[in-house]
Amino acid sequence: MIPVLLLAAVTVTFQPAKPTIGDPIALQFPGAVRLDESPQYEIVSQQGNRAVVRTFRARPIEIHGTLEGAPFRDLLIPIHSVLKGNDKLDPAPLEPPHAVPYPREPWYWLGGALLVAAAIWTLVALLAKRRARKAAEPPLTPLEQFRRSVLALQPTSPMPWAQLADATRAYLAMGDELTTTQLLQRVTVGREIVAEILRQGDYEKFSPWGAPQGDFETLRAKALELPALFEPPTVEEQAA
């Protein structure tokens, strides 16, 4: 039921029927209305013959303004309490705060960061140790480098003839950049073996048909015998 107020023989209705503190109260006037500002209520909206107000006072409010240009006052709207009857107004008992679990996610991130840092430091230490070991090792002699390179070659290695020829050329040229012809002019012993090694390597590197068929294992063994042809005999060998 919508309450009806009589204001100088003018009917004004409002809803809700029993407004409480903070409720929007819709006022319906018989004509165009303009409410005045007041500390008793707050004007939510007003348009035409309708206005909406609300209050946070626990007592009736007096609405005043103009209706069709004529001022009016004495429009009282009762405000009902939200409290129950015989309410003692005692505060509700306080409950102890619930313990908030400590977040674990930061520990996960911290643990991950520590693992990454440990892995990086381990890698740095291993690389430093490897560099120190290499620095402590004496450099390989040309003969040692030649033997190591040749022994590492297999018939299935990429371009084995060319690699065998390059290792032989590097050992016999002693750092000089020599063509096959120039190197053979310098060689005085084992020339046939050197010529075959260099020729097979040149075929594999420059010929569109590749190197001719040959016994790679046999020629590699002969290459390993070359240093003995160029080195002078030891004291033990001379005595024998």
pLDDT tens digits, 96-116: 888 888 788 888 898 889 999
Residue 83 resides in a domain: no
Residue ending a domain, choose from 77, 101, 125: 77
In tens, the pLDDT along 17-65 reads 889 888 999 999 988 999 999 999 999 999 999 999 999 888 899 999 9
Which of the two residues, 88 and 197, has the higher pLDDT score? 197
> What pLDDT score was predicted for residue 84?
67
**What total of structural domains would you count in the chain?**
2
Residue ending a domain, choose from 77, 104, 123: 77
Residue 153 resides in a domain: yes
Residue ending a domain, choose from 77, 97, 126: 77
Residue 158 resides in a domain: yes
Residue 129 resides in a domain: no
% of the chain residues with pLDDT over 90: 31
Averaged pLDDT for residues 73-101: 76
Which of the two residues, 10 and 142, has the higher pLDDT score? 142
Residue holding tokens 């908030």?
100
Domain that holds residue 56: 4-77
* Same domain flag for 73 and 146: no
Q: Given pLDDT bands bounded at 50, 70 and 90, which one contains residue 159?
A: very high
pTM for the full predicted model: 0.42
Residue 95 resides in a domain: no
Which of the two residues, 176 and 141, has the higher pLDDT score? 141
Closest by alpha carbon to 166, among 218, 204, 215?
A: 204
Residue 161 resides in a domain: yes
Residue 162 resides in a domain: yes
Report the distance separating Cα 168 and Cα 170, nearest Å.
5
Residue 70 resides in a domain: yes
- Give the least confident one: 100-109, 127-136, 144-153, 224-233: 224-233
